[in-house]
Amino acid sequence: MSQHEITFTVNGESQSATVAARLTLVDFLRDALRLTGTHAGCEHGVCGACSVLLDGVPVRSCLTLAVQADGSEIVTVEGLAPEPGTLGILQDSFWETHALQCGFCTSGMLIASHALLAANASPTEDEIREAIGGNLCRCTGYKQIVDAIALAAERLRGSNLPAKEAADDER
């Protein structure tokens, strides 16, 4: 099994590691870096629980090899809050509407909706549903998640920051 040197940024911190070619990004994040907020749900790219931002774009970390992340910037759920013990506006909106139950799909939902709000300050309900359409949730029926994202968009608009900046500011 070939080994590879990789260097990338995770939640703003530079990381270097030697990884096996077949190691997935989700296993690397969880097992090597102990960032366990990212969850492996189906491990075949359907459920979206393992979503992380790779250079600002949501990707399935179960279908991404760790070596593919070389040179890139990764953000996981742990990187969404401004500082430990606090929550960003999007996360706080999820809490306000109770947009989760067991919490297992939640990090993927946050990643998908974070990317949406960075690109679209005023998403319609259809646009919200489209943005989380690749993330499966078994608990909520999506209603309170859609409500949370709409609430977050409204609150971010009210924060007097350009949407992209406000969403980025969350981390």
User: What part of residues 125-144 is at the interface with another protein (CB under 8 A)?
Assistant: 125, 128-130, 132-144
Q: How far apart are CA 22 and CA 112, in angstroms?
A: 25
Q: How far apart are CA 10 and CA 76, in angstroms?
A: 8
Binding mask 67-96 for another protein (x = CB under 8 A): ---------xxx-xx---x-x---xx-xxx
Applying CB under 8 A, the site for another protein has a residue count of 59
* Interacting residues of 15 by C-beta distance below 8 A, sequence separation 6+: 7, 8, 9, 33
Q: Which amino acid belongs to residue 39? A: H
Looking up tokens 């990317």, which residue turns up? Answer: 115
Among 5, 13, 31, 165, which residue sits at the site for another protein (rule: CB under 8 A)?
Answer: 31
- Of 27-35, 65-73, 116-124, 163-171, the window that binds another protein (rule: CB under 8 A) is 27-35
Q: Which CB atom, from 71 or from 80, has the smaller least distance to another protein? A: 80
- Of 28-36, 53-61, 65-73, 157-165, the window that binds another protein (rule: CB under 8 A) is 28-36
Binding status of residue 63 toward another protein by CB under 8 A: no
Among 5, 7, 22, 122, which residue sits at the site for another protein (rule: CB under 8 A)?
Answer: 22
Q: Which amino acid belongs to residue 167? A: A
Q: Whole-number minimum distance, CB 119 to another protein, in Å?
A: 18
- Taking alpha carbons only, the member of 109, 121, 110 closest to residue 165 is 121
Q: Whole-number minimum distance, CB 91 to another protein, in Å?
A: 4
Counts of helices then strands in the chain (DSSP H, E): 6, 5
Q: How far apart are CA 45 and CA 130, in angstroms?
A: 17
